[in-house]
Structure 1
Amino acid sequence: MVSTNYAPEHTGIGPYSTQIAEHLAASGADTHVLAGMPHYPAWRVGEGYAGRWRMCEVRAGVTIHRRRHTVPPRQTALRRALFEASILAHGVLAPPRVRPDVVLTQMPSLAGGVLGDRLARRARVPHVVIVQDLMGAAAEQSGIQGGGRVAALAGGLEGRVLRRADVVGVVHESFVDRVTAMGVPRERVHVVPNWAHVKGPSGDRALTRERLGWSARDTVVLHAGNMGLKQGLDVLVEAARLAEQEGARVRIVLMGDGNQRERLQQLAAGVPALSFLPPADADEFPEVLAAADVLVVTQKASVLDMSLPSKLTSYFMTGRPVIASVAAEGGTAKEVLRSGAGSVVAPEDPKALLAEIRSFADDPEGATRLGAHGPRYAERHLSSRAGLDRITALLGLAQRPAGVDRS
């Protein structure tokens, strides 16, 4: 497997890569992972890994080959390009000394896709790619500084990797048209949704709220996860500011880390209705989510078909209602509405967001009924067993006929 993100990262793509690799190892496969140094979502190299150039470690029967790369604390197109280039260069210079039977790549990163393609072609084995985010579209839609100039280049390289892959998995059907437009035959594209990789809450909700200092009289709105550009989290700061002005008993909490956290903290200065929490550990995470009254996912209005927030699967497990401040035509909106566990409001519109929050606060029983759809949806469609079985089946499809050379 090639995946820049891997355990001990416990948010984003890392948990999915980890669970897939550990599932394959438990099934008897000699499983190796070419990974980067843990850095997400803080965009700082994790303790115990800083200063390491290369290392090999074994976790749950999986051999992880880690290679050092740059970790930009602030995202621009140039810094992202350097990040990708460093991953690619180190992976090319020091590939794992393993001859694989199949290569499975998680994208992003774009460099990981190129490395996976290179490893598969050198070993003359099938290459399976799982698309978590579309990098070309991300550069175009996320608002990253300089992104428009590199979108075509990133999209072109991404398309080349996907066209040469034997099988392409996408985590949502909204990605299918974008991938086939790159020239990937439809029959090689398969939808493999992510699954709920965290357990449901089991603690006392009232005690968790008390520990966090959340008043029972306040409607607590929680955003958990990465604080990056594409999330467009300014809308939550402005919604909190409006709540203060209107005297609404609304408290908005941002839990997590990311390259926009410091800027958001500066923007929120003097807004007591908004507060920040550090990332929660794996055991505490579902308890904090369940202690909130409303869970919120936000995206910039320009984000349509380039990513699906991994936090949604965790949100659905808690039984709390979800508000999605996202483009109505995007995959995130479709997933929230399909679950029946939440509602969708216009993106980057703090007035609309606050109005929806207040409507949930005014009808707590209705909000609870709405949120109760989440665990049922997760049980039917997002179980880890079903998700891992889909990945195993995807690998089974990667049987390249003799003599086939995709270029």
Structure 2
Amino acid sequence: MKILIVTQYFYPENFKSNDMAFELQKRGHDVTVLTGIPNYPEGEIYDGYGFFKKRHEIINGVKIIRALLLPRGKGGGIRLFLNYFSWAFFASLKARKLSASQKFDAVIVHEPSPITQFYPALTVKKHQKTPVYFWVMDLWPESLEIAGGVKNKMILNFFTKMVQHFYRESEKILITSKGFRKSILEKGDFNNKIEYFPNWAEDTISSGDLNYPIPEIPEGFKVMFAGNIGEAQDMENIMNAALKLKEKENIKFILVGDGRKMPFVQDFIKEHNLQETVYTLGRFPVEAMASFFNQADLLLVSLKDDPIFNLTVPAKVQAYMSSGKPIMAMLNGEGSENIKEAECGFTVPAGDSEKLAYEIETASQKSKEELDKMGMNGKTFYEKNFRMEECISNLEKIISKK
């Protein structure tokens, strides 16, 4: 098939759109990606890229077309708005030119926020009647209201109508969490369009290089958090749990990643003298994760106690499972249920730092054999439910049925 993937984020940014494009191309499909100039998450354009540099590339056989955008900068509300809509506008212009020169069999929209990424796909559909498959990874306008702090009813109603329009224009709506179904059905009768299409872990995590060079990790019982350190991840309660365990000097919190809440984390560490038990290592490429996870005793995942997050399964749940390490989860909903079903770790309610501290201390006292068994339970569950090969095979079946 001749497939167009529409997404604001693509390689060298680290998103599932990379795996999807490269794997589909590898399987013999002709894949084009319409994307933006890489600037996530730091908000600055990556070295080697620019408004007049590397706007067209071919990587692993995939044709990449980069539309202009205003970089997200430090991520303030106005700057994010301009980032989202500038890309949607310029990518729609690119989509119109593409529609005139190429005929696509399917358009796949990869949508972590923002929802506006659908616009260029809609342009192609209007010109070619090409079916659009909408991979929803973030619910709008709920995400805008809860994570973005937008309370203005006029703005929320505007985005609700936008979302409803996009759902109506979709051939299928692919959801990463079964909990998304409720939100989507509240916006219209889209039941026959919904298909479950979960996240997977990168091969570099599930079978990566355990000897990839990483900084020295301190000795002790290592509780590792890897990924975005942002508002949604409830760093306040992770830090509160670390404070409660301050006297348990054998327990070390290792934070691998960066994000908007990193300044808060670093200030908290200084204010409460946690330098001996909490370590911030910064951001590393996905290729380094297997090496990091191999050093961990427990992998930590968390989300705030908000209705939208209770419907979400963080992608790191699958990544953690694939590593064969036990998981400590401070979240509600489907992600927590997956961990319980797999018997691969410990779960506490979202926002409960006291229980988190208690369960981490409990885990630190378990034998290596007990922890290893949990880890292998998770890996087995991952292999059965979340391997990329099976997910992409399912995607091929979905987009081949019109």
Which TM-score applies when normalising by structure 1? 0.88
In the alignment, what sits opposite 2:398? 394
Question: For the Cα contact (< 8 Å) 1:76–1:147, is it kept in 2?
Answer: no
Mark the CA change 1:23 to 1:213 in structure 2 (over 3 Å): closer, same or farther. closer
Following superposition, the deviation at residue 67 of structure 1 comes to 1.7
Unaligned runs of 5+ in 1: 400-407
One of 126, 130, 153 as aligned partner of 1:125:
130
Mark the CA change 1:235 to 1:198 in structure 2 (over 3 Å): closer, same or farther. farther
CA distance in 2, matches of 1:158, 1:115: 14
One of 349, 353, 356 as aligned partner of 2:356:
353
CA distance in 2, matches of 1:379, 1:64: 31
One of 227, 230, 241 as aligned partner of 1:228:
230
1:307 paired with 2:308, answer no
CA distance in 2, matches of 1:299, 1:48: 34
Mark the CA change 1:308 to 1:386 in structure 2 (over 3 Å): closer, same or farther. same
Specify the code of the residue in structure 1 equivalent to 2:180: F
| Secondary structure in structure 2 of the residue aligned to 1:372 | helix
Mark the CA change 1:51 to 1:274 in structure 2 (over 3 Å): closer, same or farther. farther
1:249 paired with 2:247, answer no
Question: For the Cα contact (< 8 Å) 2:48–2:54, is it kept in 1?
Answer: no
Question: For the Cα contact (< 8 Å) 1:162–1:184, is it kept in 2?
Answer: no
Following superposition, the deviation at residue 159 of structure 1 comes to 2.3
CA distance in 2, matches of 1:305, 1:247: 31
Following superposition, the deviation at residue 86 of structure 1 comes to 1.1
Question: For the Cα contact (< 8 Å) 1:197–1:313, is it kept in 2?
Answer: no
Following superposition, the deviation at residue 53 of structure 1 comes to 7.1
Following superposition, the deviation at residue 332 of structure 1 comes to 1.9
Mark the CA change 1:242 to 1:134 in structure 2 (over 3 Å): closer, same or farther. same
1:134 paired with 2:139, answer yes
CA distance in 2, matches of 1:147, 1:366: 46
1:267 paired with 2:268, answer yes
1:2 paired with 2:6, answer yes
| Secondary structure in structure 1 of the residue aligned to 2:337 | helix
CA distance in 2, matches of 1:324, 1:37: 34
In the alignment, what sits opposite 1:404? none
| Secondary structure in structure 2 of the residue aligned to 1:135 | coil
Specify the code of the residue in structure 2 equivalent to 1:283: E
Render the CA deviation track for 1:174-226: whole Å, top value 9, x for unaligned: 11121122114211111011222234356669x989x52321xx211111111
In the alignment, what sits opposite 2:168? 163
In the alignment, what sits opposite 1:295? 299
CA distance in 2, matches of 1:323, 1:154: 35
CA distance in 2, matches of 1:148, 1:391: 37
Render the CA deviation track for 1:217-253: whole Å, top value 9, x for unaligned: x211111111121111122222222221x33421112
One of 376, 381, 400 as aligned partner of 2:380:
376
Mark the CA change 1:32 to 1:208 in structure 2 (over 3 Å): closer, same or farther. closer
Q: How many aligned residue pairs are there?
A: 386
Question: For the Cα contact (< 8 Å) 1:222–1:294, is it kept in 2?
Answer: yes
Mark the CA change 1:306 to 1:34 in structure 2 (over 3 Å): closer, same or farther. farther
1:197 paired with 2:202, answer yes
In the alignment, what sits opposite 1:87? 87
Mark the CA change 1:257 to 1:148 in structure 2 (over 3 Å): closer, same or farther. farther
CA distance in 2, matches of 1:147, 1:171: 26
| Secondary structure in structure 1 of the residue aligned to 2:72 | coil
In the alignment, what sits opposite 1:26? 26
Give % identity.
20
**Range with greater deviation from structure 2 (251-260 or 89-98):** 89-98
CA distance in 2, matches of 1:350, 1:335: 21
CA distance in 1, matches of 2:389, 2:325: 23
Following superposition, the deviation at residue 265 of structure 1 comes to 1.8
Specify the code of the residue in structure 2 equivalent to 1:264: V
Following superposition, the deviation at residue 78 of structure 1 comes to 3.5
Greater relative contact order (Cα < 8 A, sep 6+) = 1
Following superposition, the deviation at residue 173 of structure 1 comes to 0.9
Root-mean-square deviation (CA, aligned residues, Å) is 2.3
Specify the code of the residue in structure 2 equivalent to 1:63: K
| Secondary structure in structure 1 of the residue aligned to 2:7 | coil
Following superposition, the deviation at residue 274 of structure 1 comes to 1.3
CA distance in 2, matches of 1:219, 1:62: 43
